[in-house]
């Protein structure tokens, strides 16, 4: 079922420590148990499993619980040992795990949604379980009474969720590419603002309450950093994945962002550098370099007796340009472009060799990663995906071993 790979040698890439196999369908969530050699998994095969590491070095399920419907989301609160499981039928179920992680007791069922649950967060302070689902709804329910406290409906499927426990603000990503900032109250909520920037459905969110930064990943293969706390709503674009960005984790102490994607890549972004904000794309009826008309500019085409050209945009300056004036490609990591993108000829000439130095490292996870979570104190990461395999990684060779005082895995 599970195999120990090898010990932790010094390396500049993530070290695969263990693989856990045995699920019959895609694993939708995997969470490391703090201070324990254990992992909790939820799967489309309708099972919740707790895997503990045995003396042999292998992980074996100490708890194997079958649900009525495929498991689509999960949250775990370690101090109270409460597990909340979202299902494909819209229900959220609460369980309590024993101190030795060998028994799991059912507590209650929350009728949170009318369709698949996509994300869950539990707030101990308010005793709320907050969730999103494919019924275009954000719901928050009282864990004491089991009653519905409030709902907010979106125009699209709600796909991911983050929550600020101090202010009771919720960030909700949806399939239209928007992120809604909601202020949740005991029985109502208000929409504070809507963040628009992605060209595809938002797949994952990460909120850092210290620096007040929100990170979002989407099916447009990109990540956006939203400065919620100041700097006039400054946003940074990060492009380095070749498929849907599925999971994010920001390491506040080292100022690094870890992202995982359907392309199987694990990216570690250096956010402790001065980055440039990507420009807004400018609109023009003709090339802003050579002034040749674009193909919809009928008047200028008629006046100059020329054929219209296709419009492009320089990723560095944002100007509308024709293909001839933007024939070159370049990476520009300070603006988040880790692979080569279209730039106009004058911008290409302005980019120096040192400007092309990467500000991220990319590593092969070797499976389609649909979910990732980290135990920052121990420098461990767990990934899972559609291949039914759960992988446990040592991330300290990549992100450093000083994430927690006195911690060194070697």
b or e along 44-61 (b: 16 or more beta carbons within 10 Å of the residue's beta carbon)? bbbbbbbbbbeeeeebbb
Sign of the CA dihedral with 208 first, then 211, 212, and 215 last:
negative
Q: Are strands 189-196 and 360-364 parallel, antiparallel or unpaired?
A: unpaired
Instruction: Find where tokens 């039914």 sit.
Output: 388
pLDDT tens figures, 149-163:
999 999 999 999 999
404: pLDDT strictly greater than 60: no
Give the side-chain half-sphere CA count within 13 A for 17.
Answer: 22
Nearest alpha carbon to residue 72 among 48, 44, 94, 91: 44
Contact 152, 137 (CB under 8 A): yes
Instruction: Please tell me what DSSP assigns to residue 277.
Output: P
Domain ranges of the chain: 15-279+358-399, 298-355
Task: Return the pLDDT at 2.
Answer: 52
| Least confident span in 9-13, 61-65, 91-95 | 9-13
Task: Return the pLDDT at 134.
Answer: 96
What span, in angstroms and rounded, lies between the C-alpha atoms of 241 and 258?
A: 12
402: pLDDT strictly greater than 70: no
**Residues, the chain, total?**
410
What's the CATH code, domain 15-279+358-399?
2.130.10.10
What's the CATH code, domain 298-355?
3.30.40.10
CA dihedral angle for residue 212, residue 218, residue 224, residue 230, rounded to 10 degrees: -30
| Rounded average pLDDT over 252-256 | 92
Residue 348: which H helix or E strand, with range? helix 345-350
Q: Would you place residue 403 in the very low, low, confident or very high pLDDT band (cuts 50, 70, 90)?
A: very low
Nearest alpha carbon to residue 77 among 97, 63, 93: 97
pLDDT tens figures, 195-245:
999 999 999 999 999 999 999 999 999 999 999 986 556 789 999 999 999
What span, in angstroms and rounded, lies between the C-alpha atoms of 304 and 198?
A: 38
75: pLDDT strictly greater than 80: yes
pLDDT tens figures, 272-328:
998 998 888 898 988 988 988 887 777 776 777 777 778 899 999 999 999 899 999
Q: Would you place residue 92 in the very low, low, confident or very high pLDDT band (cuts 50, 70, 90)?
A: very high
Task: Return the pLDDT at 231.
Answer: 56
CB neighbours of residue 114 within 10 Å = 12
Q: Average per-residue pLDDT in the chain?
A: 90
pLDDT tens figures, 128-184:
999 999 999 999 999 999 999 999 999 999 999 999 999 999 999 999 999 999 999
Task: Return the pLDDT at 310.
Answer: 83
pTM: 0.89
């Amino acid at each position: 079922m599970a195999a120990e790979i090898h010990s932790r040698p010094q390396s500049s890439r993530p070290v695969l420590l263990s693989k856990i196999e045995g699920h019959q369908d895609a694993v939708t969530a995997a969470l490391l148990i703090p201070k324990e050699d254990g992992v909790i998994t939820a799967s489309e095969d309708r099972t919740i499993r707790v895997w503990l590491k045995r003396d042999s070095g292998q992980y074996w399920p100490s708890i194997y619980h079958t649900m009525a419907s495929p498991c689509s989301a999960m949250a775990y609160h370690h101090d109270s040992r409460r597990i909340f499981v979202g299902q494909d039928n819209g229900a959220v179920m609460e369980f309590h795990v024993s101190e030795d992680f060998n028994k799991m007791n059912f507590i209650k069922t929350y009728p949170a949604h009318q369709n698949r649950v996509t994300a869950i967060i539990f707030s101990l302070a308010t005793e709320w379980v907050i969730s999103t689902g494919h019924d275009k709804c954000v719901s928050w329910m009282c864990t004491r009474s089991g009653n519905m406290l409030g709902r907010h409906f979106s125009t699209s499927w709600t796909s991911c969720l983050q929550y600020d426990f101090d202010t009771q603000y919720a960030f909700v990503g949806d399939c239209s590419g928007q992120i809604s900032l909601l202020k949740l109250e005991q029985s109502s909520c208000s929409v504070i603002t809507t963040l628009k920037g992605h060209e595809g459905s938002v797949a994952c969110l990460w909120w850092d309450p210290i620096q007040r930064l929100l990170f979002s990943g989407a099916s447009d293969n990109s990540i956006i950093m939203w400065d919620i706390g100041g700097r006039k709503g400054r946003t940074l674009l990060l492009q380095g994945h070749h498929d849907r960005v599925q999971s994010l984790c920001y390491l506040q102490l080292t100022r690094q962002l870890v992202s995982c994607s359907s392309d199987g890549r694990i990216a570690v972004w250096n956010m402790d550098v001065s980055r440039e904000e990507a420009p807004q794309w400018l609109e023009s009826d003709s090339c802003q370099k050579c002034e040749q008309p674009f193909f919809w500019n009928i008047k200028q085409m008629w006046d100059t007796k020329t054929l219209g050209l296709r419009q492009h945009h320089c990723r560095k300056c944002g100007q509308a340009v024709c293909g001839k004036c933007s024939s070159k490609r370049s990476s520009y990591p300070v603006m988040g472009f880790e692979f080569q993108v279209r730039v106009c000829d004058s911008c290409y000439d302005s980019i120096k060799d040192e400007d092309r130095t990467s500000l991220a490292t990319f590593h092969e996870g070797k499976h389609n990663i649909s979910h990732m979570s980290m135990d920052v104190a121990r420098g461990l990461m767990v990934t899972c995906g559609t291949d039914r395999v759960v992988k446990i990684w040592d991330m300290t060779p990549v992100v450093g071993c000083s994430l927690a005082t006195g911690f060194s895995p070697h």
